Amino acid sequence: MLRISNLKASIDSKPILNGLDLEVGTGEIHAIMGPNGSGKSTLSHILAGREDYRIDSGEIIFDGKSLFDLSVEERAHAGLFLAMQYPVELPGVNNMVFLRAALNAQLLARGEQEISAADFIKTVRDAAAQVDLDQSFLKRNVNHGFSGGEKKRNEILQMVLFQPRLAILDETDSGLDIDALKTVANGINSVRGPERSIILVTHYQRLLDYIEPDFVHVLAGGRIVRSGDKMLAHELEQKGYGWLEQEAAA
């Protein structure tokens, strides 16, 4: 589904990604871990189409097409979804109106019919219950006045609604208490399936106690320096990242 080859990227002339290679197959969950400043969020933003970053070399192929040829909207229509580390507040924009407009835009882009108001209300209420988000939040402005955990659940609500082909979750577990972490993990597991792939960006092994990844990768120095299974995450929990950062610098 996704192939990243020799990706080098920078921002304000500062190199961040340094020859990153990654392949994600259909139906797979890949966890990407690494120290602060290693390029994890940069990778997420580049996949989503953020324009601040300069692509110096390499390619990203998604479902057989170059992502560099697609706008942010076209990437979303193609089934790429980003749950942000710091979800944005949108004062004055009703959450339910926003969610329906976004879902209908994707349906129309795929040549499907828009969802009716009545069908959407039932669908979004079911999705909110799935991620343990009180339905009163559907009537509020997008993320405005939400706690950190509520914002993260609202992001997962979007993923449940949109059913993306590839979901990139940028430190969705940051700032969550144990109950919120379990709820978010349950939402992620609920959309797991053979037709959908997920990239989990995280600092900590604890999220992987609730979501079983197919692969765990360590990003250091702007490239992936080690890949393995869930046991690699446990090893990082015990040893930290220093030993791999030294390998990356060598």
For the packed helices 148-162 and 95-109, what is the interaxial angle rounded to 10 degrees?
Answer: 30
Mean pLDDT across the chain, nearest whole number? 90
Per the structure, the complete domain to which residue 77 belongs is given by: 2-249
Closest to 73 (Cα-Cα) out of 84, 63, 65, 81: 81
Place of tokens 């509020």: 140
Helices (H), the chain: 40-48, 72-77, 95-109, 117-130, 148-162, 178-190, 230-239, 242-249
Q: Which of 81, 141, 130 is closest to 122 using CA atoms?
A: 130
Q: What is the mean pLDDT of residues 184-200?
A: 89
Task: Please spell the DSSP secondary structure of 161-208, one letter per residue.
Answer: HH--SEEEEESTTTT--HHHHHHHHHHHHHT-BTTBEEEEE-S-GGGG
Q: How deeply is 242 buried, as exposed, middle or buried, from its count of CB atoms within 10 A (0-12, 13-18, 19+)?
A: exposed
User: Where is pLDDT greater, at 36 or 211?
Assistant: 211
Which position has the token pair 């979501």? 211
The span from the CA of 197 to the CA of 250, in Å, is: 33
CA–CA separation, 214 vs 28, rounded Å? Answer: 6
Q: Model confidence over 121-157: pLDDT tens digits?
A: 999 999 998 888 888 999 999 999 998 888 888 999 9
Q: From CA 185, how far away is CA 208, in angstroms rounded?
A: 9
Q: What is the pLDDT of residues 84-107, one digit of tens each?
A: 888 889 999 999 999 999 999 999
Partner residues linked to 54 by β-bridges: 10
d(C-alpha 129, C-alpha 190), whole Å = 12
CATH of the domain at 212: 3.40.50.300
The single-letter code of the amino acid at 243 is W
Tell which residue, 81, 87, 84, 88, has the closest CA to residue 102.
81
pLDDT, tens digit (0-9, with 9 covering 90-100), for 1-21: 999 999 999 998 899 999 999
pTM to 2 decimal places: 0.91
Query: Into how many domains does the chain fold?
Result: 1
228-240 in b/e form (b: 16+ CB < 10 A) is: eebebbebbeeee
- Residues with Cβ < 8 Å from 231, sequence gap 6 or more? none
Tell me the C-alpha distance between 56 and 60, whole Å: 12
Q: Is the pLDDT of residue 248 over 70?
A: no
pLDDT at 227: 94
